[in-house]
Amino acid sequence: MSRRALVDKAGQALVVALAVLGALPVVLVIVDIYAKGIPAIARIGLVEFLTGLPPTPLDEAGGIGPALVGTLVMAVMGAAMGIAVGFPLGVYLGAYRHERLAAVSQSFINVLVEYPTIAVGLFVYAAMSLALPAVNPVLRALLGVEVSQFSGLAGATALAIVMVPYVAIFTASAYASVGRELWEAAHAITGDEAKALFVVLRKAAWRAILASFLIGTAKIMGETAPLLFTALGNDYYYASPHEYVTGPVGAVPLLIYYMAQTNYEVQNEVAYGAAAVLITLVLAVFVLARAASRR
């Protein structure tokens, strides 16, 4: 074998080794969680695990029902809020990327995406402290409800803030990648800039935009830190659905965080089972995102 071919082979081997090394931690984490989580789920049964209450130290088994409901409620609310702000922001950043204000906004968004999410939780905690004394009397008068300092709404707001930069950056990238021909076609079809951007070009870039929504949702479903000071956690179901918005709610990542730290085996097991469920949910959303962007 010539020296050139030898170097080529060695280079290829190095690249493969680095790829394996990079993927190894992710694979090990997934394997470890499923190896310990699936038996925990099997011991009580999938339906019971997904709907049951978390175990006390004296119980023999338990589930993640309230936490799963909380995660789904906050993910839906957080995604709705995050998309409502992040999508138009992303359209602006993508469509007006040559303008100075858009460039400055893009810099702020780039910082926000790296911002510690626990600080986002603290910010929402502080904002709720300031806002609730003024908002609650109005809510009580209009709807007969009050929002607690710790609530599903606070948790969803924190998750929305975490999600906004992801949606904005991916949407901006989707719009920026639309070719000049389509850009012109959109504006030739309508003289209304908003319709050209939000209808025609949205349809043109829809798959990439949908992928951005899904990736953002997957990201917030796994977040723990922003929920510590906002959703707080709750081991029980509420009688009224609106209480998932107004009262403290559980979340799967929070449940894992609390139950993994105890000295009780039954709670550690449920933490592993919950992690397996969470990983499956997040992976499913990522697979959907990949499928959406590839079709």
- To other proteins, the closest distance from the beta carbon of 191 in angstroms equals 3
From candidates 12, 206, 265, 283, binder to other proteins by CB under 8 A = 206
What number of CA atoms fall less than 13 Å from residue 193's CA on the CB side? Answer: 4
From candidates 9, 203, 242, 290, binder to other proteins by CB under 8 A = 203
From candidates 38, 185, 279, 282, binder to other proteins by CB under 8 A = 185
Three-state SS for 232?
Answer: strand
Three-state SS for 249?
Answer: strand
Looking at 107-115, 119-127, 199-207, 267-275, which segment touches other proteins (CB under 8 A)? 199-207
Q: Does 186 bind other proteins (CB under 8 A)?
A: yes
How many whole angstroms separate alpha carbon 255 and alpha carbon 233?
Answer: 7
How many whole angstroms separate alpha carbon 197 and alpha carbon 242?
Answer: 36
From candidates 34, 123, 183, 258, binder to other proteins by CB under 8 A = 183
Q: Does 176 bind other proteins (CB under 8 A)?
A: no
From candidates 59, 145, 207, 293, binder to other proteins by CB under 8 A = 207
Looking at 17-25, 185-193, 250-258, 283-291, which segment touches other proteins (CB under 8 A)? 185-193
CA distances for 53 relative to 22, 56, 63, 223, 248, angstroms: 37, 9, 5, 21, 16
Within 70-129, which residues bind other proteins (CB under 8 A)? Answer: 98-99
- To other proteins, the closest distance from the beta carbon of 98 in angstroms equals 5
**What DSSP designation does 242 have?**
T
Following DSSP, what letter does each residue of 19-86 receive, concatenated?
HHHHHHHHHHHHHHHHHHHHHHHHHH-HHHHHHSPPPPTT-S----HHHHHHHHHHHHHHHHHHHHHH
How many whole angstroms separate alpha carbon 145 and alpha carbon 247?
Answer: 10
Looking at 81-89, 195-203, 226-234, 253-261, which segment touches other proteins (CB under 8 A)? 195-203
- To other proteins, the closest distance from the beta carbon of 102 in angstroms equals 11
Give contact residues for other proteins (rule: CB under 8 A).
98-99, 179, 181-192, 195, 199-200, 203-204, 206-207
